[in-house]
Amino acid sequence: MLEYAWLILAFPLAGVAGNVFLGGKLGRRFVSLLSCGAVALSFVSSVAVLSAILALEPASRHFERHIFTWFLSGSFRVEGTILVDPLSVLMTLVVSGVAFLIHVYSTGYMAGDSGYRRYFVYLNLFTFSMLALVLAGNFLLLYIGWEAVGLCSYLLIGFWFRKKSAADAGRKAFIVNRIGDFGFAIGILLIFKTFGTLDFSGVFTSAAKLFPEGAPVITAITLLLFMGATGKSAQIPLYTWLPDAMEGPTPVSALIHAATMVTAGVYMVARTSSLFLLSPISMGVVAAIGIATAIYAASIGLVQNDIKRILAYSTISQLGYMFLACGVGAFATGIFHLMTHAFFKALMFLVAGAVIHALSGEQDIRHMGGLRRKLPVLYWTFMAAALAIAGVFPFAGFFSKDEILWEALRFRGPVVWALGAAGALMTSFYIFRLVFLVFHGTPRHDKHVHAPSLSIQAPLVCLALLSAVGGLVGAPLLFGRHLVREFLNPVFQTSIAGQVAEHPAFIGNQTVVYEVAMALVSLSIAGLGIVLAYRFYLASPEVPLRMRERFGRLYSLLVNKYYVDEMYGAVFVRPTTKLASVLWRFFDSLVIDGAVNGSAYAVEAGGRVLRRIQTGALQSYALSMALGAVAILAFWLLR
C-alpha cells in the first residue's frame, strides 16, 4: 500500500478535474457525489497507509516515493517525492477525515447557492493542495502546497466576490500571507545554499553533523521559516487576516481556518524540528510568540459579539498554544493538540454556521439565546466541543492542552506555565460565554428557527464523538502508554533525546504525582472559567455591563482588537498606496510613457526629414545615381 500512497493525492485532483470538465453538464448531484467521494477515497487511502506504516518497525517508518523528476540542471535535482512517515500520515488522516465531513456538511449548507460547482472545485483543490503540503518530501513541494492552499484560501474567502467586504478580505488574506511567504522563500533559498539540496532527508540528517548548536546560519534559516509560519498560521504579527476571513462561507472557515490550512505552519515547524532544535534562539522566539499570541487573541475573544469572530480569535489563540509546545521542544504534543483542535474547532464552526443558517443570517450573539430547546443536536454537539476546548476531562482538549502546559512548566518554568494557564482560563470563559449567550437564557430574537438538514447534522455528530473520545489516544493512564507520542516520536528522535538532556527537568523525581496534580489544577482552571461565565451571563447579566462601564477604556481597547488593523493601515498600507500613486503619476506617466511615446515621435520626426529625398523629379534621381557611381569608382581607384 505504501507504493500507492500517491493515491491520497490523486483522488481530490481527479475530483477537481471531474467537476471542472463534467460538473456543468451533469448537475449538482454529480458534483456532490464526486467531491465527497473523492475525499472519502482519499481518507480510505490514508487509513490504508496508516495500517501499512503500523506494520513496520517503529524505527523504520520512513518511506519516500519518487513520482516525477522536475528540475534537472547540472547537479541540481528537484524530484517530486512524497514522504510517508508517522507525522505525514497523521496529518493526512486529520486533513482528509475532517475535509470529508466538511464536504458532506457543505452539500447541505451551500445547497441554495448559485456557485455550487465552483465551491466544490475550490474545496477539492484545497484538499489536494493541503495533502500535497503534508506529503511533500522536499522544501520545494512543501512551498508549492503552501502557496496553493493560500490561493484556495483567497478564492474561498472571496467566494461571494460581489460583496466588497468579502473580496477585500480575500485580498487581505493573500497579501498578509505573502509577506510571511517572502521570509519562507528566503529561508528555503538559504537552506539550498547551505545544504546544497532541498530534500528533507538530505537536509535533516546532515544538519546536526555539519553545524554546532546555535550556529548563526541555522538560526537565520529557522527564523525565516518561522516568519512564513506566522503568516500562514496567523500568529503575531501576521494574524490580522484571519478574523476578516470569516467573510467566507462557514464550512470554509471550519476547514481552512480552523482545522487545516492554518495548521500548516505548525506542521512545517514540526517537520523541520531538527533544524529548530539546533537553534535555541529560534526555539525561544517560537515559544514566546506562541504564548504571547495565545493570551493576546484570547483577550480579544473575551468581548467580541460576532459568533464567528469569537471562534476566529479562539483559533489564533489555540495555534499559539501549538507553537508554544513546539517552542519548548514538545513537537509531538503540539501535533497532538493540532489534531484535537481540528476536531473541536471545526465542529464549533460548523455548528455556528448551522446556527446562522437557522436564524437566517444572524451572527451577533447578543441577538441569539434560548436555542437549546429548539436546536438540541446543535446544542449538544457544541457542548462537546466547548468542553473539549476548555480542557475538561475526558474530552479531547483536556489531554492535549494539559500536556502543553505540563511541558511548558517542565522546560521553561512556572512563569510560562502561569501565562498559559491564564490563557486557558480565558479560553474556558469566552467559550462558555458563547454557549450561554447563544443557547441558554430567553431568546433575544424573534426569528423563525429553521431546523438543520441531515447532511448538516451528521458531520456534527461525528466530530462531536471525535471531540469526546479523540483525546484518549493521548491518555497515558488509559492504555498504559501515550499512543500519539509513541507514534510520532521516531520522527523527532534526535530532537527529544537532545532536548531532554539539554534542559534539566524543572521538577525532580516525583514526576507522575506532579503531573496528576497539574492536571487537577488545569481542570479547576477550566471549571473556574465555566463558573465565571455562568455568573456573568446567566445568573447576573448586569455584571458585565457594570464591568464595561468601570473598565471602559480597556473594554474599547479589546473590542477594537487593540487597534492593530488601524495601526497597520496607517503605518504600512496607506504609505504604500500613496507611494504607488506617486509612482503612477510621475514615474509611470512621465518617464515610462514618455520614453515609449518619445521613441515613436523620434521615429516619426526622422521619417519626416528623410522623406524629402523623394522629390519626384527624375533628374535628381539620375543625379544621385551618377554621384553614387562616381563615389564608388573614386573609392576603388584611390584605394
Q: How many CB atoms lie within 10 A of CB 129?
A: 26
Q: Is the Cβ of residue 501 or residue 618 nearer to other proteins in the bound state? A: 618
As a whole number of angstroms, the distance between CA 529 and CA 386 comes to 12
Helical axes 376-390 vs 511-534, angle rounded to 10°: 140
As a whole number of angstroms, the distance between CA 350 and CA 356 comes to 10
Q: Site for other proteins (CB under 8 A): which residue of 623, 632, 633, 634?
A: 623
CB of 580 to other proteins, least distance (A): 46
Cis amide leading into 216 (omega within 30)? no
Q: Identify residues 309-338 at the interface with other proteins (CB under 8 A).
A: none
The single-letter code of the amino acid at 552 is G
Rama region for 106: left / alpha / beta (φ>0; ψ in -120 to 50; rest) = alpha
CB of 629 to other proteins, least distance (A): 9
CB of 611 to other proteins, least distance (A): 4
As a whole number of angstroms, the distance between CA 488 and CA 601 comes to 70
Cis amide leading into 575 (omega within 30)? no
Q: Is 617 in the site for other proteins (CB under 8 A)?
A: yes
Q: Is the Cβ of residue 550 or residue 608 nearer to other proteins in the bound state? A: 608
CB of 598 to other proteins, least distance (A): 24
Please identify, among the stretches 326-334, 398-406, 419-427, 621-629, the one whose residues bind other proteins according to the rule CB under 8 A: 621-629
Secondary structure of residue 61 in the 3-state scheme:
coil
Q: How many CB atoms lie within 10 A of CB 544?
A: 15
Binding mask 471-510 for other proteins (x = CB under 8 A): ----------------------------------------
Q: Tell me the β-bridge partners of 199.
A: 138
Please identify, among the stretches 223-231, 235-243, 425-433, 610-618, the one whose residues bind other proteins according to the rule CB under 8 A: 610-618
Q: Is 609 in the site for other proteins (CB under 8 A)?
A: no
Q: Is 622 in the site for other proteins (CB under 8 A)?
A: yes
Binding mask 566-605 for other proteins (x = CB under 8 A): ----------------------------------------
Total residues at the site for other proteins (CB under 8 A)? 11
Q: Helical H runs in 110-163? A: 116-135, 139-157
Please identify, among the stretches 13-21, 165-173, 363-371, 614-622, the one whose residues bind other proteins according to the rule CB under 8 A: 614-622
Please identify, among the stretches 136-144, 212-220, 249-257, 611-619, the one whose residues bind other proteins according to the rule CB under 8 A: 611-619
Backbone φ and ψ for 442, nearest 5 degrees, come out as: -90, 145
Q: Is the Cβ of residue 599 or residue 620 nearer to other proteins in the bound state? A: 620
Q: Is the Cβ of residue 75 or residue 614 nearer to other proteins in the bound state? A: 614
Q: Is the Cβ of residue 556 or residue 615 nearer to other proteins in the bound state? A: 615
Q: Is 73 in the site for other proteins (CB under 8 A)?
A: no
Q: Tell me the β-bridge partners of 84.
A: 63
How do the residues of the chain divide into helix, strand and coil, expressed in percent and rounded to 5? 80, 5, 15
Q: Is the Cβ of residue 508 or residue 607 nearer to other proteins in the bound state? A: 607
Q: Is the Cβ of residue 509 or residue 619 nearer to other proteins in the bound state? A: 619
Q: Is the Cβ of residue 598 or residue 628 nearer to other proteins in the bound state? A: 628
Backbone φ and ψ for 151, nearest 5 degrees, come out as: -60, -50
Q: Site for other proteins (CB under 8 A): which residue of 114, 614, 635, 636?
A: 614
CB of 597 to other proteins, least distance (A): 24
CB of 631 to other proteins, least distance (A): 14
Q: Site for other proteins (CB under 8 A): which residue of 164, 209, 553, 612?
A: 612
Q: Is the Cβ of residue 27 or residue 606 nearer to other proteins in the bound state? A: 606
CB of 638 to other proteins, least distance (A): 18
The single-letter code of the amino acid at 383 is M
Q: Which helix (H) or strand (E) holds 184?
A: helix 164-195
CB of 572 to other proteins, least distance (A): 58
Q: Is 619 in the site for other proteins (CB under 8 A)?
A: yes
Q: Is the Cβ of residue 72 or residue 632 nearer to other proteins in the bound state? A: 632
Please identify, among the stretches 391-399, 501-509, 563-571, 622-630, the one whose residues bind other proteins according to the rule CB under 8 A: 622-630
Q: Site for other proteins (CB under 8 A): which residue of 162, 542, 616, 639?
A: 616
Give, as one character, the DSSP assignment of residue 361. Answer: T
User: Nearest to residue 84, comparing CAs of 58, 53, 47?
Assistant: 53
CB of 626 to other proteins, least distance (A): 6
As a whole number of angstroms, the distance between CA 162 and CA 282 comes to 42
CB 358 within 8 A of CB 375: yes
CB of 617 to other proteins, least distance (A): 5
Q: Is the Cβ of residue 547 or residue 623 nearer to other proteins in the bound state? A: 623
Please identify, among the stretches 251-259, 488-496, 580-588, 607-615, the one whose residues bind other proteins according to the rule CB under 8 A: 607-615
CB 105 within 8 A of CB 455: yes
Exposed, middle or buried, 601 (CB in 10 Å: 0-12/13-18/19+)?
exposed
- Which residues does 325 contact at the CB level (< 8 Å), separation at least 6? 290, 331, 333, 334, 337, 403, 404, 407, 408
CB of 585 to other proteins, least distance (A): 40
As a whole number of angstroms, the distance between CA 415 and CA 317 comes to 18
CB of 632 to other proteins, least distance (A): 15
Rama region for 391: left / alpha / beta (φ>0; ψ in -120 to 50; rest) = left
CB of 606 to other proteins, least distance (A): 14
Q: Is 626 in the site for other proteins (CB under 8 A)?
A: yes
Q: Is 632 in the site for other proteins (CB under 8 A)?
A: no
- Grid coordinates given for 212: 554546532
User: Nearest to residue 265, comparing CAs of 212, 218, 334?
Assistant: 334
Q: Is the Cβ of residue 59 or residue 610 nearer to other proteins in the bound state? A: 610
Q: Is 615 in the site for other proteins (CB under 8 A)?
A: yes
CB 15 within 8 A of CB 32: no
Q: Is 550 in the site for other proteins (CB under 8 A)?
A: no
- Grid coordinates given for 238: 501576521
Q: Is the Cβ of residue 618 or residue 637 nearer to other proteins in the bound state? A: 618
Q: Site for other proteins (CB under 8 A): which residue of 618, 636, 637, 638?
A: 618
Q: Is the Cβ of residue 59 or residue 637 nearer to other proteins in the bound state? A: 637
- Which residues does 6 contact at the CB level (< 8 Å), separation at least 6? 65, 67, 82
Of the chain, the end-to-end C-alpha distance in Å amounts to 86
- Which residues does 250 contact at the CB level (< 8 Å), separation at least 6? 109, 308, 349, 350, 352, 353, 356
User: Nearest to residue 390, comparing CAs of 427, 435, 353, 420?
Assistant: 427
Q: Is the Cβ of residue 554 or residue 625 nearer to other proteins in the bound state? A: 625
Give the footprint of other proteins on this chain (CB under 8 A): 611-612, 614-619, 622-623, 626
